[in-house]
Structure 1
Amino acid sequence: MKRVAVIAGALLLSACSPAPADGERPVEGTTWSATDIYLSPDAPSALPASSAGAVTLVIGRASATGNTGCAPLQAKVELTGERLVFDEVHYGEASPTCPELSRGVHDTVTGLIHDAAAFSVDRRGPSEIVLTAETEAVDRPSIRFLGL
């Protein structure tokens, strides 16, 4: 009976995050570097070229760590299939030497990733994901990441 319970539990856990296809970076455990932040369809990326690579995110089984380009972040997360939910998001103090453009990116990231923020996870290639905010808005903000 114990063996059945252990196997059932393992199957449930393995269903939480789909296994990556051959050559794909797994969502969990990969360092993801933001290449674009889209806030509206009529505007280009809100991530200046000078800030590319500064925003990072590493998603674990139950937590995430990263950086806004100005401050570290830590959060609890739940990754279920193609849905990622953040909780207990904590940002470190932003560096006083953070350049103005980077500070704008920091403010954008902290506005998107907060307690109860939910995102759909869309794989666009073997080393690329897009997190799209689950909001009521017609044009939902998104962050494009490349796996390092």
Structure 2
Amino acid sequence: MRRAVVALAAGALLVACAPDPTADVAGSSWQVTDIWTTPGEPSALPPQSAGLARLAFGEQSLSGHTGCAPIQGTVTFTRAGEPARTEDADTLRIDHIEGDTAADDCPALHTHEQLRELLAPGAEFDLRHAERELTLTLRVDAVDRPAIGLAAI
């Protein structure tokens, strides 16, 4: 009996230590963890916005919440300028996006405004996907380009 208890405990420890599986770009929920807009400054995501903003992607869609209002739209994923599946893509383009207006007293208003500015129709992002992290870096002619950091939830 004692051996069975020890074996069960060891198995539970191995399961608890196992890494989380990789999250796919499409079909996973992504929480906004960082928004970098000002060169030389840390992420501009205020503490009151933590955990409120999130995004989800489909092969041609984007939906989510800015922390103040829902958003949805259509996107195109490409690799080397050619259409690609989300898992193979290195670029994301916002084709169309719409969302509700945020209330003036929303605690995540700053984050809402930043996301609405960055996730604009025609915006193109370099897409970097690493296990459970996703980074969208705006394609603009600047050394320190604005970016959105996301973590799988």
TM-score (normalised: structure 1): 0.78
Secondary structure of 1:61's partner?
A: coil
Count of residues in correspondence between the two structures: 124
Matched, 1:117 2:123: yes
Unaligned runs of 5+ in 2: 1-19, 79-88
The unaligned stretches of length 5 or more in structure 1 are: 1-21
Shift of 1:52: 1.6
**Counterpart of 2:110 in structure 1: which amino acid?**
G
Report the equivalent of 1:139.
Answer: 144
Encode CA deviations 1:89-115: one digit per residue, 9 max, x unaligned.
10112135412xx11111111110010
Q: Which residues in structure 2 correspond to 1:35-114 (within 5 Å)?
A: 35-80=33-78, 81-99=89-107, 102-114=108-120
What amino acid does structure 1 have at the position aligned with 2:152? Answer: G
Indicate the SS of the match to 1:87. strand
Moved over 4 A (4+): none
Report the equivalent of 1:126: 131
Is 1:27–2:29 an aligned residue pair?
A: no
2:136 partner SS: strand
RMSD of aligned residue pairs (Cα, Å): 1.5
SS at match of 2:115: helix
Query: How many angstroms apart in 2 are the aligned matches of 1:48 and 1:104?
Result: 8
Secondary structure of the residue that 1:105 maps to in structure 2? Answer: helix
* TM-score computed with the length of structure 2 as normaliser: 0.76
Which protein shows a greater Rg? Answer: 2
